[in-house]
Amino acid sequence: MNKDLLLLLHPLFAIAVVFPMIGIVVHRGLQVRQRRLKTPSDGKSKIPPVVGQEHVQIGRWLTGSVVVAVLLALAHDIVSNVVETQRWSTAPLKVLFVGLMFIATIASFVLLYQAKQKQWRAIFATLTGMGLVVLGCQEGVYRKTDQWYVSHYYYGMTAALLMIFALAIVQSIYQDKKNHWRTVHIVLNGVALLLFFGQGFTGTQALLEVPLSWQEPYVQKLYELQCEQKPCTVQPSVPQATP
């Protein structure tokens, strides 16, 4: 498959799956809160009780889709870097380690969905988050650390970690009679929602900044000549005629 098409898998998945699901989860969450705040004097609520189950179920799907979107983006950047630098020949153990990290992260995330006891949910959520962070620190990942405050990577990674934590505490919410975990859930997911809005801006910016495959040599030359500091012109290289 063309490299430029692979680059579009992450934004395509985010637009087609993640963002529509965010709208559904937020809508169901507002309905759940309206139903909970309904007092007996107001009469019977018109919101059906099943809305709570729908909010939880779709929220679990949303967390899964966010983590998948992050893994797609990381896999594209890391694999592209390995292929371009032929890292498997110079550092095969590092390539093997990264591959095992992908497997371990996915396995931990799957087990998080299956875990019932609090300690196991905490363990698998921690392992999943650690796996994403370690993968995000690999060479080739477009992080834009010098401008972290408008970085698509940092917004997305933070949102993914918040969603993983929210998934891990779902069962605790229903066991907490004082609603402390419910308050934590609302606050953290409110922050995640703001980050998702930021993702719309930073994602568009990242697509403009990451060059297509045929543009890469020209863009690299622009950076080498420091064209961001002075006007310059980059001419395409002309292949030498063979005698």
pLDDT of 75 over the 90 cut: yes
Residue 16, φ and ψ in degrees, nearest 5: -80, -30
Specify whether the CB–CB gap between 112 and 164 falls below 8 A.
Answer: yes
| Close Cβ partners of 168 (under 8 Å, ≥ 6 residues apart) | 112, 121, 122, 124, 125
pLDDT digits (tens, 9 = 90+) for 43-63: 677 888 888 899 999 999 999
Report CA-CA distances (Å) from 85 to 35, 82, 137, 140, 170.
Answer: 56, 5, 17, 10, 43
Q: Each residue of 93-145: pLDDT tens digit? A: 999 999 999 999 999 999 999 998 999 999 999 999 999 999 999 998 989 89
DSSP assignment, residue 180? Answer: H
Query: What is the spatial distance between Cα 159 and Cα 22, in angstroms, rounded to a whole number?
Result: 12
Q: Is 237 left (phi over 0), alpha (psi -120 to 50) or beta?
A: beta
Kindly report the backbone phi and psi dihedral angles of residue 225, in degrees, each rounded to the nearest multiple of 5, phi listed first.
-85, 0
Q: Tokens in use for 163?
A: 């969603």
Q: Is residue 37 pLDDT above 90, yes or no?
A: no
**Token pair for 88:** 């498997």
Averaged over 57-77, what is the pLDDT? 95
In a domain, 188, yes or no: yes
Residue 40 pLDDT class (50, 70, 90 cuts) = low
Q: 143, 151 in Cβ contact below 8 A?
A: yes
Determine the 3-state secondary structure of 161 from DSSP: helix
Q: Give residue 236's pLDDT.
A: 59
Which residues span the domain enclosing 44? 3-212
The residue whose two tokens read 């004097």 is 41
The reported pLDDT for the residue numbered 1 is 52
Residue 10 burial (CB count, 10 A): 25
Contact 105/43 with Cβ under 8 angstroms?
no
Which among 73, 65, 35 has a CA at the least distance from the CA of 164?
Answer: 65
In the chain, how many domains are there? 1
**Does residue 184 carry a pLDDT above 70?**
yes
Residue 228 belongs to a domain? no
Which amino acid, residue 155?
A: Y
Q: Is residue 61 part of a domain?
A: yes
Confirm whether 230 is domain-assigned. no
Give the Cα separation of 89 and 210 in Å (integer).
Answer: 26
pLDDT per position as a tens digit, 76-90: 999 988 988 888 888
Report pTM: 0.86
220 belongs to a structural domain: no
Looking at residue 42, its pLDDT comes to: 66
Within a domain: residue 239? Answer: no
Q: Is residue 111 part of a domain?
A: yes
Compute the mean pLDDT over every residue in the chain, rounded to the nearest whole number: 87
* Residue type at position 203: G
Residue 176 has pLDDT above 70, yes or no: yes
